[in-house]
Structure 1
């Protein structure tokens, strides 16, 4: 389980380190930095897929994603005795992301490319580090990448050896130095990060993929766009917790019954002479079914992140959604980004939730109500 998430130099996240629990709610006013925190988790996941540089390019390149304020906001600036202005830099320009967990920790430091690079908007990976446990120490570190040189600590002797030289500044050691031998820990981390799931594109409009006819096939994991909803529900009913799914439907839509036919899913509702297909369902009903299929997956991930899952849902459905989220957090670590007061209240009533309320001051995102965990960035 990830216990600490750290971000530095990314958009409004000048220097933010927060704790994560089994079920964590990230909330705050519009513009407080919720989306930036969500994106930082996605960027960490993209490292294991080899898509980090491309993802940052899609956001406008490194220059568009870097913290736009001064390197440090002094007390004089905060009290108004001094205007907000740039100060002499003490650290190199960088965008840093990392996490610490019960098993492994990882951090990456991205900086400006060399002048001769033909793609000046692309960041260069300057440094990576991996260690055992939550906090980086000299004794716990077992993998290090500095510019193009990668070193791994030999498992048997504890000595360092050079694993690769000349690694491209666009490639991560997580994807290029993982092997079943001395790079086994890198391999294990890569596979765990590849298993993280993100749901922020579950469409419910008339042309949504979930409304189209589907082929029924074994589908233990709902796709990110919900295109295989019917097959995912059929899989839950066949090999998953069909009773929990039925209970979730009954709690949300009393008297309704969910089933799957060759042509797709069907929802029978009290008072209707025939069940409704996916194309006939309201946006809110379809959205709830998509979330239920994601959260009740027969193959739960290590980490699942949901961005504003309450979209299209009536406030009356929030208690049912909160119960689903709480139930899913038993098998998978869940991070929910939301500003819905109805969902926040329902999650609080369920209990067992960690809450991170973000605020923005002087353009910088902060979490003043949580205690900052111990965190050490690797140094260039």
Structure 2
């Protein structure tokens, strides 16, 4: 389970360190930074996929994603005595992401390229530093692997830090290139954990949504990000997952309803039988809210539980009556999976907040910066360049 999440210099997240729990709820007004927090977690996961640089480029490059305010706020700026204005920068420009779980911690520092203006790729950020450590906070004594510039070192069995790469490309992470069963086992373990994180924010329910049409199916223990393999995912739960939990989740939201999947020449199609109707409805006939609930059910009852699932505004298209069943579904999933929920829905957040092992954060903006009140901030150190 992830214990601490840290973000620095990403959009409105100037310097944020949050303790997480089995269920972490993130809420707040529009523009408070919820989407930025969600995207920062996703960007961290993309480091393990080797896609972080491309993802930042798609957002407009590092310059577009960096904190746009001053490096620090003076006391007089905060009180309104003087206007907010830039000051002489003391530290380098950087975007930093990190987390610590029960075993290890990892952090990455991305900065501006040294050859800015001399290459057609000068908008690409560079990886300046990385660190993997044992325990909750980085220190010199517990660092297992580290990267500064082009050099990556790992701690060997004799307690020596040996270089495993001395010319690592500025756009390559040690997560993807130095993870090795022999010399970088901890890196390999952490990389695979991060690759197993799941994000659901684009579960389409519109008229042309992939989930509405028959589709070639194979065993699908993990629902795809767009939900196009919904029928196969639900059938997989029925065959090798928790069939009872699936039936209870559907009956909880739609009393007396049930689902079944048919196969025609390899194409899987979902049908739903509802009380009072003389025939089952195809997925193409279901309402947006009904289809979204089924998509979330398939995601949360996966026969292959993820170490982390992040849901971004799962309440979209749902009738208020479905929020409590959804909360119960999330609570059931949290028995095996850590869940982060970013939501506007007060009923959903309120129901989940009553559960043990749940922490709630309400984001707000102060002088353009996302801030949050936390009872006790965990200790955190960033790797040095």
CA distance in 2, matches of 1:44, 1:69: 22
SS in 1 for 2:176: helix
Quickly say closer, same or farther: Cα 1:373–1:92, change in 2 above 3 A: same
Out of 320, 327, 334, which is 1:322 matched to?
A: 327
C-alpha displacement of 1:128 = 0.4
Greater mean alpha carbon deviation, residues 196-205 or residues 118-127:
118-127
TM-score normalised to structure 2 length: 0.97
Quickly say closer, same or farther: Cα 1:369–1:140, change in 2 above 3 A: closer
CA distance in 2, matches of 1:379, 1:135: 14
1:18 and 1:370 in contact (8 A); partners too: no
SS in 2 for 1:192: helix
Q: How does 1:79-228 map to 2 (within 5 A)?
A: 79-115=79-115, 116-154=118-156, 156-228=157-229
CA distance in 2, matches of 1:151, 1:334: 33
Out of 366, 373, 378, which is 2:371 matched to?
A: 366
SS in 2 for 1:357: strand
Partner of 2:25: 25
TM-score normalised to structure 1 length: 0.98
2:127 and 2:172 in contact (8 A); partners too: yes
Greater mean alpha carbon deviation, residues 114-123 or residues 72-81:
114-123
Out of 332, 335, 339, which is 2:337 matched to?
A: 332
Cα-to-partner distance string for 1:201-242 (whole Å, 9 max, x where unaligned): 100000000001122321000000000000000000001001
Residue 2 of structure 2 is aligned to residue 2 of structure 1:
yes
Residue 281 of structure 2 is aligned to residue 276 of structure 1:
yes
CA distance in 2, matches of 1:311, 1:52: 27
User: Unaligned stretches of 5+ in structure 1?
Assistant: none
Partner of 1:37: 37
CA distance in 2, matches of 1:194, 1:268: 36
1:9 and 1:66 in contact (8 A); partners too: yes
Residues paired across the two proteins, number = 379
Q: State the 4+ residue runs in structure 1 displaced beyond 4 angstroms.
A: none
RMSD: 1.0
User: Unaligned stretches of 5+ in structure 2?
Assistant: none
C-alpha displacement of 1:350 = 4.1
CA distance in 2, matches of 1:281, 1:235: 21
Out of 291, 297, 305, which is 1:300 matched to?
A: 305
Greater mean alpha carbon deviation, residues 57-66 or residues 111-120:
111-120
Greater mean alpha carbon deviation, residues 173-182 or residues 110-119:
110-119
Partner of 2:358: 353
Quickly say closer, same or farther: Cα 1:350–1:254, change in 2 above 3 A: farther
CA distance in 2, matches of 1:50, 1:78: 39
C-alpha displacement of 1:81 = 1.6
Greater mean alpha carbon deviation, residues 368-377 or residues 49-58:
368-377
Partner of 2:260: 259
